[in-house]
Amino acid sequence: MKLVKDTNFEKEIKKISDKEAEEAFKTILAWIGEDPAREGLLETPKRVVKAFKEYFKGYKEDPSQVLDKTFGDVEGYDDMVVQKNISVQSHCEHHMAPIIGLAHVAYIPKKRVVGLSKLARLVEVFSKRLQTQEKLTMQIANTLMESLDAKGVAVTIDSTHQCMTMRGIKKEQATTVTNYYLGQFKEDLSYQNRYLRFISIVKE
Query: What residues are labeled active site?
Result: 92-95, 133, 161, 163
Given a contact cutoff of 8 angstroms between Cβ atoms, the answer to whether 141 and 133 are in contact is no
Q: Which ranges of the chain does DSSP label H, i.e. alpha helix?
A: 18-31, 44-55, 63-66, 116-127, 133-148, 162-165, 184-187, 189-198
Helix orientation angle between 44-55 and 18-31, rounded to the nearest 10 degrees: 110
87, 94, 103: which is closest to 161 by C-alpha? 94
